[in-house]
A = this chain, B = another copy of it.
Amino acid sequence: MAADVDPKGVRPAYSLPAVTVDVVVFMVRGRALQVLLIKRRSPPFQGYWAIPGGFVEIDESLDEAAHRELAEETGITGAYLEQLYTFGDPGRDPRMRVISVAYLGVIPSDRANVVAGDDASEAGWFSVQNLPPLAFDHSRIMECAIQHLRRKIRYTDTGLRLLPELFTLSELQAVYETVLGEEFDKRNFRRRIFQSNIVEEAGGFRTGEGRPAKLYRCRAGIQNEVRVTRLFP
């Protein structure tokens, strides 16, 4: 339910938890799934790497807070963000009770240039295969995010949001293979993508080594749920 004011008066401040957002943003570069971290420049966990995030302001929504903190601390704007899970165990921050609403985000590699902000001495991308020790309970949040991304890319169009507006089918396949850590048959992959009807030809070609590849884009009006086959379809 929404709050009832304490009948004896306004709830005292010391009994109120702080609320933060934490934003786990992924990118695929080359053949690596990478995640955005910042280096903490104040205690506790000074010098540790951490998931970007911070306090929710009193007059902004949670989504707004997630976008704002991400932009402030890393310079990243326009990422696709969605709420992941809320972590609120007492003791997860040694200083005070902090309840953190975690967000999962993805961004195309061509918009992944970071600029460290005020609260962070540094911001950078790390391969999920090779993460540094993280501050607070951020390893747990990270595991949760990776698991969720892998699940989500299997049955929604999240894979497309990891690519620039125009992309080739080989690039798309590489994204899926990188995130999921398995390889797919080229012909079956293409058949599935076409059947699911999430892309359309953009008209151009990408040249380079070998035969030029057709460019595709995300079909307009694609919602999130591409397809799920279930216990009871």
Interface residues of A (CB under 8 A from B): 1-5, 11-20, 22, 38, 40, 42, 50-62, 69, 83, 85-86, 88-90, 92-93, 95-101, 119, 135-138, 151, 153-156, 176, 180, 184, 189, 192, 196, 226-233
Contact = CB atoms under 8 A, between A and B. Distances in A.
Contact of A20 (B2, B42, B62, B101): B2
Given A230-B229, A231-B227, A97 B58 contact: yes
Q: Which of A90, A98, A155, A231 has the most CB of B within 10 A?
A: A231
15 contacts: A1-B100, A2-B135, A3-B55, A3-B96, A4-B119, A5-B96, A14-B58, A15-B57, A56-B88, A56-B99, A62-B99, A153-B231, A180-B232, A228-B229, A228-B230
Contact of A3 (B16, B20, B90, B101): B20
Nearest to A189: B232
Contacts of A231: 153-156, 192, 196, 226-227
B19 A1 contact: no
A143 to B, nearest CB: 16
Nearest to A154: B230
B61 A88 contact: yes
**10 closest A-B pairs by CB:** A13-B13, A229-B229, A154-B230, A1-B53, A2-B93, A2-B136, A62-B88, A3-B98, A155-B230, A16-B16
Nearest to A17: B19
Q: Which of A2, A93, A226, A227 has the most CB of B within 10 A?
A: A2
Contacts of A189: 232
A65 to B, nearest CB: 8
Contact of A101 (B86, B98, B156): B86
Given A180-B232, A192-B232, A2 B98 contact: yes
